[in-house]
């Protein structure tokens, strides 16, 4: 089950990247609104690349549903003695249902402006849950020396504060994009806007900046503390570098006036950061046994 849980994390990650490709190439409507069919048939005519992308995304996400279901049931049955495994497998199953309903509704409603924010939010939470579930199955305690406990407790606080803002930041970023506030702000034309006012668009943009600063400070604070006890050092560096990368690519989007490529890289990098952050959280919860240490 352990190897399968890692496979599930990778599978979920690829599904999210494919979803990003659908948005980037504007292929969301290529199969029409008759989900689960594609333009009225189970195997559509592959007339253009939009159909290929949207259809592969549909097939892949259907397979993902199966993979997550097997993972959740398998983990639950084989590790039912662990409360964390039980809770996380139920949560992963619940999020899968929610994600399928949101994804299906999005297609049936013809991708209304702003709605894809929910898609991004639940898919990122699903990915995070898969990482945590995998960690809970790999549970093997790492001893922490007593004189390091204070540093561990401080680093945990720094990390969770920054990471909670990080999750908020991804949802805000998705809202910024899918409400088309980013287009209004950059004076770009779009078919449909949810946010039409430039001043509201600027408020969303400013919040995206404020959250960037908080996430950056959290990551730096976490890095400094993890240097003191060394357990999470490579992941702390990776997390910090990826936060910087997110910000740098965000700036590039503005400089290049929102090219599809830059916007996609921004999303891919932030999805990778979610996996790194989930691994750090999993480390605290299941390897350092934070509760046992009273932190």
Interface contacts to ligand HEM, rule CB under 6 A? 120, 169-170, 173-174, 176-177, 182, 208-209, 212, 215, 243, 246-247, 250-251, 253-254, 258, 263, 266-267, 270
Query: Which is closer to ligand HEM, CB of 70 or CB of 210?
Result: 210
> 79 vs 170, which CB is nearer to ligand HEM?
170
- Residues in contact with 78: Cβ distance below 8 Å, sequence separation at least 6, in sequence order: 1
Nearest distance in Å: CB 83, ligand HEM:
31
- The residue among 89 and 116 lying less far from ligand HEM, judged by its C-beta, is 116
- For ligand HEM, give the closer residue by CB, 243 or 281: 243
Candidates 291, 132, 162, 142; CA nearest to 236 is 162
CB of 112 to ligand HEM, least distance (A): 15
- Of residues 11 and 240, the one with the C-beta less far from ligand HEM: 240
CA angle 276, 21, 197 (to 5 degrees): 90
Q: Is the peptide bond before 36 cis (omega within 30 degrees of 0)?
A: yes
- Tokens describing residue 177: 């994009």
Tokens of 165: 């803002």
CB-based contact 192:262 (threshold 8 Å): no
Q: How far is the CB of 259 from ligand HEM (least distance, A)?
A: 9
Closest approach of ligand HEM to the CB of residue 294, in Å: 31
285 vs 280: CA distance, rounded Å: 9
Please enumerate in sequence order all residues whose Cβ is within 8 A of that of 79, keeping only pairs 6 or more positions apart, or say none: 1, 85, 86, 136, 137
Spatial neighbors of 233 by CB under 8 A, at least 6 apart, are 226, 227
Give the nearest distance from C-beta 287 to ligand HEM in angstroms.
25
Which two three-digit tokens encode residue 263?
A: 């916007």
Minimum CB separation of residue 274 from ligand HEM in Å reads: 9
CA dist 23 and 116 (Å) reads 9
Q: Between helices 198-229 and 233-255, what is the axis angle to 10°?
A: 160
Which residue, 70 or 164, has its beta carbon nearer to ligand HEM? 164
| Residue with smaller CB distance to ligand HEM, 41 or 259 | 259
3-state secondary structure of 41: strand
To ligand HEM, the closest distance from the beta carbon of 158 in angstroms equals 15
- In the bound complex, what is the minimum distance in angstroms from residue 53's beta carbon to ligand HEM? 15
Please name every residue paired with 38 in a beta bridge, in sequence order, or none if there are none: 41
Distances (CA, A) of 158 to 155, 221, 280: 5, 6, 12
Rank residues 153 and 207 by Cβ distance to ligand HEM and give the closer one: 207
């Amino acid at each position: 089950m352990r190897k399968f849980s890692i496979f599930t994390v990778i599978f979920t990650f690829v599904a999210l990247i494919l979803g990003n490709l659908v948005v980037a190439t504007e292929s969301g409507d290529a199969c029409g609104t008759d989900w689960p069919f594609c333009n009225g048939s189970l195997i559509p005519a592959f007339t253009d690349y939009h159909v290929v992308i949207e259809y592969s995304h549909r097939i892949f996400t259907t397979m993902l549903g199966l993979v997550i279901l097997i993972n959740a049931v398998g983990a639950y049955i084989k590790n039912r003695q662990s409360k964390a495994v039980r809770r996380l497998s139920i949560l992963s199953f619940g999020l899968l249902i929610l994600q399928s309903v949101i994804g299906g509704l999005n297609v049936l409603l013809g991708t209304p402006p702003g709605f894809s924010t929910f898609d991004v939010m639940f898919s990122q939470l699903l990915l995070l849950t898969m990482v945590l579930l995998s960690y809970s199955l790999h549970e093997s305690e790492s001893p922490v020396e007593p004189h390091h406990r204070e540093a561990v407790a401080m680093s945990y606080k720094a990390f969770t504060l920054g990471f909670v803002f990080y999750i908020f930041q991804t949802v805000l970023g998705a809202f910024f994009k899918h409400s088309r506030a980013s287009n209004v702000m950059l004076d770009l034309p779009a078919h449909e806007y949810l946010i039409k006012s430039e001043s509201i668009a600027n408020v969303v943009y400013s919040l995206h900046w404020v959250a960037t600063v908080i996430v950056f400070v959290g990551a730096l604070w976490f890095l400094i503390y993890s240097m003191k006890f060394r357990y999470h050092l490579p992941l702390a560096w990776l997390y910090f570098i990826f936060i910087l990368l997110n910000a740098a690519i965000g700036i590039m989007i503005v400089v290049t006036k929102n090219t599809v490529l830059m916007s996609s890289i921004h999303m891919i990098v932030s999805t990778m950061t979610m996996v790194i952050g989930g691994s750090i959280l999993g480390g605290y919860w299941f390897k350092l046994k934070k509760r046992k240490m009273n932190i």
